[in-house]
Amino acid sequence: MNIVLTGFMGTGKTAVGKILARRLEWTFCDTDELIEKEVGLPIKDIFQEKGEPFFRELEHKIVRRVSSKDHWVISTGGGVVLRAENMAALEKNGMVVCLTARPDTILERVAAEGTARPLLNVPDPRKKVETLLSQRDPFYRRCGVRIETDSLSPEAAAEQIIGWMEKK
């Protein structure tokens, strides 16, 4: 069994995932980091130089690879839910948890990270976040567990996931 963390950027997937992996003594992986290692470029450069379709295809390949592991905490990119095959692979051997946050929280967290986000490199990032959240919501709703992280620390979110696991 794995725990898969998905959700929009800035919802805490990596921070929560690292805490979960440490607490459970499982392996942690971030699919975006694996993609960057494979291509040798940061995500923003992959989007610019090779395009989103290339990125999504490589993301699918990485998801297939990591979903077959056991006792892993897998942090995915927020768009992984858009491809049904990704979700089927992740659900086959994992509990998929969607971390959510309001647009204001997402924008604050992304700004605080100081990391370039290709999808937000637009004149109105707030509108883009709202649009993407609206488009992805039906896909995120497929997830077995949803945790709103606006007012939660990563530790508290990890605690909720562990509590949910214990009930299963």
Residue 120 pLDDT class (50, 70, 90 cuts): confident
Q: What is the pLDDT of residue 121?
A: 83
| Structural domains for the chain | 2-153 (3.40.50.300)
Average pLDDT of the residues of the chain: 94
Reported as a single tens digit per residue, the pLDDT across 77-113 is: 989 999 999 999 999 999 999 999 999 999 999 888 8
Give dist(CA 60, CA 87) in Å, integer.
Answer: 10
> Percentage of the chain with pLDDT > 70?
100
Beta strands in 10-70 (DSSP E): 27-30
- Mean pLDDT for the stretch of residues 113-135: 87
Give dist(CA 163, CA 168) in Å, integer.
Answer: 9
Q: Which two tokens stand for residue 127?
A: 């509108």
Q: Give CA separation, 42 vs 39, 69, 84, 147, 156, in Å.
A: 8, 25, 25, 28, 30
* pLDDT at residue 119 tops 90: no
Q: What is the pLDDT of residue 54?
A: 97
* Residues across the chain: 168
